[in-house]
């Protein structure tokens, strides 16, 4: 008996009109539809009149369920993999299933469609010729800053996913580690309240200071090459140290913002210069 086919099917990230005709056909024809959240996906399938056999496939059952899906594929069944939204395997479960299917000689067919990464980048206004996708940032601040530091000097746009309730803390860490560079926050993509907030980290932080962040967030960080012309931090620090009305903390924040340098570096240098003047 010939093996079946594994289809990797992209679904809308918000607007149901972004579902492709091909995706609907494949899902209607599939013997098994493997979904990250069956309750969520059932609503999508019902909307398009799709009544196929639905089973779960997510992080905590991917080993056990992956074996079941591979067995069905070996029996000749067609399996369609979908995630909660967008393209499966992109910061979602699935790559292990694809890897194992390929190793077993099973044909894997992508059914392209929506992707939050490409959707956000296309309308960001940042360079699109080359970019780095870094997925979700770690929850804990130490690990998050470590990841940001690793990509601080990346010469391409860096794209992260972030949960809305963590966005303010992430932006504060980004300012500290990477300086006040240009960024774009894209949220609620393709939905009614879709929004792109563009500007420096400081400006974007101010934009969200007095309102709750809602919806899934894509954070795009401009490469170092997109930073304004370099300004010597020492020149600014020496000028501001002579201003009796400017606090040390405000001086550090201002110089970090004007130069794009990490706040921690400016803070250390400001201490050195202040001590030298005493």
Q: Residue 8 has what pLDDT?
A: 98
Alpha carbon dihedral 186, 188, 191, 195, in 10-degree steps, equals: -40
Same-domain pairing of 74 and 131: no
Residue pLDDT, tens place only, 72-115: 999 999 999 999 999 999 988 899 999 999 999 999 999 999 99
Same-domain pairing of 43 and 122: no
Same-domain pairing of 77 and 132: no
Cα–Cα distance between 34 and 56 in angstroms, integer? 5
Number of domain units in the chain? 3
Per-residue b or e along 189-201, where b marks 16 or more CB atoms closer than 10 Å to that residue's CB: bbeeeeeebbebb
Structural domain ending residue among the three candidates 114, 147, 180: 114
* Lowest mean pLDDT across 95-109, 155-169, 191-205, 243-257: 243-257
The more confidently predicted of residues 91 and 17 is 17
The more confidently predicted of residues 265 and 125 is 125
Residue pLDDT, tens place only, 230-271: 567 888 888 888 888 788 887 887 787 667 677 788 888 888
Where in the sequence is the domain holding 216, given as residue range(s)?
117-226
pTM for the model: 0.80
163: tokens are 């949960």
Position 226 pLDDT exceeds 70 = no
Give 35's strand partners. Answer: 56, 82
Q: Residue 274 has what pLDDT?
A: 82
Same-domain pairing of 26 and 48: yes
Same-domain pairing of 273 and 250: yes
* Lowest mean pLDDT across 62-66, 101-105, 121-125, 128-132: 62-66
Neighbours of 172 (CB within 10 A): 14
Same-domain pairing of 242 and 192: no
Same-domain pairing of 20 and 91: yes
Q: Residue 59 has what pLDDT?
A: 86
Q: What is the mean pLDDT of the chain?
A: 91
Cα–Cα distance between 10 and 196 in angstroms, integer? 23
Confidence of residue 225 (pLDDT cuts 50, 70, 90): low
Same-domain pairing of 174 and 241: no
Structural domain ending residue among the three candidates 114, 139, 163: 114
Same-domain pairing of 86 and 143: no
Q: Which residues have C-beta within 8 Å of that of residue 232, sequence separation ≥ 6?
A: 259
For helices 167-178 and 141-150, angle between their N-to-C axes, nearest 10 degrees: 50
Same-domain pairing of 104 and 12: yes
Domain of 109, CATH number, reads 3.40.1010.10
Same-domain pairing of 18 and 99: yes
DSSP letter at 119 equals: H
Q: In this structure, are residues 197 and 204 in contact, taking their beta carbons and an 8 Å threshold?
A: yes
Same-domain pairing of 153 and 206: yes
Structural domain ending residue among the three candidates 190, 205, 226: 226
Q: Which residues have C-beta within 8 Å of that of residue 181, sequence separation ≥ 6?
A: 200, 201, 221, 222, 224, 226, 227, 260
Main-chain dihedrals φ then ψ at residue 27, nearest 5 degrees: -65, -35
When computed from its CA atoms, the radius of gyration of the chain, rounded to whole angstroms, is 24
């Amino acid at each position: 008996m010939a093996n079946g086919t594994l289809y990797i099917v992209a679904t809308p990230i918000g607007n149901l009109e972004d579902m492709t005709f091909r995706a609907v056909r494949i899902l209607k024809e599939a013997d098994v539809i493997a979904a990250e959240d069956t309750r969520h996906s059932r609503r999508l399938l019902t909307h398009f009149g799709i009544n196929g056999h639905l089973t779960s496939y997510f992080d905590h059952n991917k080993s056990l369920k992956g074996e079941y899906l591979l067995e069905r594929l070996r029996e000749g069944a067609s399996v369609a993999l979908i995630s909660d939204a967008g393209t499966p395997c992109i910061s979602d479960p699935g790559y292990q299933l694809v890897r194992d299917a390929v190793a077993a000689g099973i044909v894997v067919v992508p059914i392209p469609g929506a992707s939050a990464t490409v959707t956000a980048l296309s309308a960001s206004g940042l360079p699109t010729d080359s970019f780095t996708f870094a997925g979700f940032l770690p929850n804990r601040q130490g690990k998050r800053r470590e990841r940001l530091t690793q990509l601080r000097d990346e010469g391409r746009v860096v794209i992260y996913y972030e949960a809305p309730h963590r966005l303010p803390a992430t932006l504060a860490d980004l300012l500290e580690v990477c300086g006040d560079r240009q960024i774009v926050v894209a949220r609620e993509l393709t939905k009614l309240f879709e929004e792109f907030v563009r500007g420096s980290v400081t400006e974007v932080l101010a934009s969200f200071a007095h309102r709750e962040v809602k919806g899934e967030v894509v954070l795009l960080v401009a490469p170092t090459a997109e930073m304004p012309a370099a300004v010597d931090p020492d020149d600014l620090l020496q000028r501001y140290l002579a201003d009796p009305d400017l606090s040390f903390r405000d001086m550090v924040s201002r110089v970090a913002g004007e130069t794009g340098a990490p706040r921690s570096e400016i803070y250390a240098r400001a201490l050195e210069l202040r001590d030298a003047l005493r």
